[in-house]
Chains A and B, each alone.
Chain A
């Protein structure tokens, strides 16, 4: 059975933010503008969290890219009254935009704060609408959204593999963030395939997960501790 997972090597992460930008471009995420961002409504499915350690001059910055952890026991799923979010057989936490009525309970129950709400409808002034990805919908106001592990790319690769009568190969699917990272810190793959890179990295000593004590069983693995 396929179970999608992502490995992020924080020892390689430079905090450049290319993953966040690529995610915006790939997934038609709206740019909310200065005023709305000041109110705390910016939408970054993938964000780089910065934690400062130590005091000047021995300050160190820790970068932590955070995205939807696609938890195996997601706290956001049972609380949605209309099944707008549920677990797919391939291990993704699906977000069904058409079904969402905007109660925002899922966002409140996410311990990672990875869910984003469309407070207003997105505006793409000319000619920015030409940049939109045709494989991804544009969400209207009142709908929740979050990282989908670029499900459109997964679907695309699976379709091609089916046409060619074969399995999807490891490394064939690249999420927008893993594709754009200059340090190659992000790897995507099938955690249930023992030969895949992600499942091997998940077994390494440096592998950890965020907020593990909450038993959400995230599918995103962070590699940390090298430096």
Chain B
């Protein structure tokens, strides 16, 4: 009884939903299930919620705070390091420092957001990501379901699939 993965391709997310219900009824743990789609799936496709989470808004805010502080300090410390009076302005002119700080807030938020996305998605995963036998179905807007199970396990959940495969 060798372990492996059973793959199934479904035409629509609603077929997927039925398959997931059957898997839940069979008591298969969600850790052994992988769902893949070429477009985001509606969350009501998943019987018990998708179990997804993201630190996103907080990470962006953290980046914004860090970036703004960094840029403000850049202006303040460099202006004070070699102070040269220009026009009527103070050495650390707050309105102009404000403009630079604003851009720092933005750039910090951007970098943190993108870094968070890449981290949470586990990207880049060029070598770790495995190709599956039914991947081309994703190009046709079908959804893929892979379940890690033993060879002889029940495959009732694959009823309604366009194609199945085992590896």
Name A's B-contacting residues (CB within 8 A): 73-75, 77-78, 80, 83, 85-87
Contact = CB atoms under 8 A, between A and B. Distances in A.
B87 A78 contact: yes
A73 B87 CA distance: 4
A36 B82 CA distance: 38
Interface in B41-93: 82, 84-89, 93
Contacts of A74: 86-87
A77 B84 CA distance: 10
B50 to A, nearest CB: 50
25 contacts: A73-B87, A73-B88, A74-B86, A74-B87, A75-B87, A77-B85, A77-B86, A77-B87, A78-B86, A78-B87, A78-B89, A78-B93, A78-B96, A80-B86, A83-B82, A83-B84, A83-B86, A85-B86, A86-B84, A86-B85, A86-B86, A87-B84, A87-B85, A87-B86, A87-B87
A86 B88 CA distance: 11
Nearest to A72: B88
B52 to A, nearest CB: 46
A interface, over-half SS: loop
Contacts of B85: 77, 86-87
A85 B88 CA distance: 13
A83 B84 CA distance: 8
A101 B77 CA distance: 23
Q: Top 3 closest A-B pairs, CB basis?
A: A77-B86, A86-B84, A78-B87
Interface of B: 82, 84-89, 93, 96
A77 B96 CA distance: 14
A77 B87 CA distance: 5
Contacts of A83: 82, 84, 86
B128 to A, nearest CB: 45
B88 to A, nearest CB: 4
Contacts of B89: 78
Nearest to A83: B84
Contacts of B82: 83
A178 to B, nearest CB: 27
Contacts of B88: 73
A54 to B, nearest CB: 39
Q: Which of B84, B85, B87, B89 has the largest count of A CB atoms less than 10 A from its CB?
A: B87
Contacts of B93: 78
B84 to A, nearest CB: 4
Contacts of B86: 74, 77-78, 80, 83, 85-87
Nearest to A109: B87
Contacts of B87: 73-75, 77-78, 87
A99 to B, nearest CB: 10
A166 B88 CA distance: 33
Contacts of A80: 86
Nearest to B79: A83
B153 to A, nearest CB: 69
B76 to A, nearest CB: 16
A75 B86 CA distance: 8
Given A77-B86, A78-B87, A85-B86, 9 more contacts: A73-B88, A74-B86, A77-B85, A77-B87, A78-B86, A78-B93, A86-B85, A87-B86, A87-B87
A124 B93 CA distance: 43
A33 B112 CA distance: 56
Contacts of B96: 78
Nearest to A73: B88
A214 to B, nearest CB: 12
